[in-house]
Amino acid sequence: MDPRKLLERFGLPAAGEPEPLSGGDMGEVWRLGRYVVKTHPSPPPGLFPAEARGLGALAAAGVRAPRVYGVGEEGIVLAYLPPGPADWAGLGRTVARLHARRGARYGADEPVFLGRFELPAGTGSDWAGFWVERRLLPLLEATRVTLGELARPLERFLRAFDWPGEGPVLIHGDLWSGNVLMSAEGPALIDPSVWYGERAVDLAMMRLFGGFPEAFWSSYEAARPVPPQVRAALPAYQLYFLLVHVHFFGSSYLSGIRRVLQQYNFT
């Protein structure tokens, strides 16, 4: 879809030719003046409305996020955030503030998406049960053929592991360095998969692919220290993101799953 058409649909003025932006693994992203337009040729129903809800939840928690100017099934129009200097300590405080927003139950009342993968709506009070049944097993079933012989031991591990819980907090849900913007107004978060979960989910993703320097971690832990049992479980929590990468990008991520199982002496 021509991004200018989406601006017209929401009554917003187009400004020049669309400029492609990076970060379009799950769709197409352009800048048009003060706006960022995201579309997808065949988005799953609810994808962009879920993103808008997530950005609104981040903003309500005191986290800088792009303003939503318009959203529909075909795409979303956001404010363009001009780049600024890196402030990793500020980002640490931002994420700590996000993780201070407590909830009554795990999950979300409406579906959320991890990339284009739809996760079921619903909430629960038991973390291990919710995490395994509503988050991990849907991904395992979607990747079972690619997992091959890994599927059975992985499922046993997911059900047997003692998942530490500190209580439900608001999480970004897909917090890798590509979903961080160092804007002129300070650190901002984009492309959320927001729900109430254990903060270990975010911490695991931030550790999985790197990109967060010591200044971030020092600042974050000064505000919200991480207990040893949570730190020790982060590789297990990374299985969530490794599975979605297997789903979208294939068998090259199976080695990461094997490493996690071996790390916990589980084969």
Residue range 160-176, pLDDT digits in tens: 999 999 999 999 999 99
Asked whether residue 15 falls in the same domain as residue 59, the answer is yes
Asked whether residue 93 falls in the same domain as residue 155, the answer is yes
Q: Tell which of 59, 79, 99 closes a domain.
A: 79
Asked whether residue 73 falls in the same domain as residue 101, the answer is no
Asked whether residue 31 falls in the same domain as residue 161, the answer is no
Q: Report whether 154 contacts 239 (CB < 8 A).
A: yes
Question: Average pLDDT for residues 28-41, to the nearest whole number?
Answer: 92
Using alpha carbons only, how large is the chain's radius of gyration in Å? 19
User: What pLDDT does 24 receive?
Assistant: 55
pLDDT band at 77 (very low <50, low <70, confident <90, very high): very high
Question: Average pLDDT for residues 114-136, to the nearest whole number?
Answer: 96
Rounded to whole angstroms, how far apart are CA atoms 219 and 236?
Answer: 24
Q: Tell which of 79, 107, 126 closes a domain.
A: 79
What range does the domain containing 69 cover?
3-79
**β-bridge partners, 167:** none
Asked whether residue 75 falls in the same domain as residue 128, the answer is no
Asked whether residue 32 falls in the same domain as residue 145, the answer is no
Question: Average pLDDT for residues 102-119, to the nearest whole number?
Answer: 96
Asked whether residue 59 falls in the same domain as residue 142, the answer is no
User: What pLDDT does 23 receive?
Assistant: 61
SS3 per residue for the chain: CCHHHHHHHCCCCCCCCCEECCCCCCCEEEEECCEEEEECCCCCCCHHHHHHHHHHHHHHCCCCCCCEEEEECCEEEEECCCECCCCHHHHHHHHHHHCCCECCCEEECCCEEECCEEECCEEECCHHHHHHHHHHHHHHHHHHHHHHHHHHHHHHHHHHCCCCCCCCEEECCCCCHHHEEEECCEEEECCCCCEEECCHHHHHHHHHCCCCCHHHHHHHHHHCCCCHHHHHHHHHHCHHHHHHHHHHHCHHHHHHHHHHHHHCCCC
Asked whether residue 35 falls in the same domain as residue 140, the answer is no
pLDDT band at 26 (very low <50, low <70, confident <90, very high): low
Asked whether residue 94 falls in the same domain as residue 186, the answer is yes
Rounded to whole angstroms, how far apart are CA atoms 240 and 132?
Answer: 10
Question: Average pLDDT for residues 34-43, to the nearest whole number?
Answer: 91
Q: How far is CA 260 from the centre of its chain?
A: 20
Asked whether residue 61 falls in the same domain as residue 109, the answer is no
Q: Which residues are catalytic?
A: 174
Q: What angle do CA 240, 77, 244 make, to 5 degrees?
A: 10
User: What pLDDT does 79 receive?
Assistant: 97
User: What pLDDT does 193 receive?
Assistant: 97
pLDDT at 209 > cutoff 60:
yes
**β-bridge partners, 77:** 37, 70
CATH number of the domain that 74 lies in? 3.30.200.20
Asked whether residue 107 falls in the same domain as residue 148, the answer is yes
> pTM of the entire structure?
0.95
Asked whether residue 152 falls in the same domain as residue 247, the answer is yes
Q: How many domains does the chain have?
A: 2
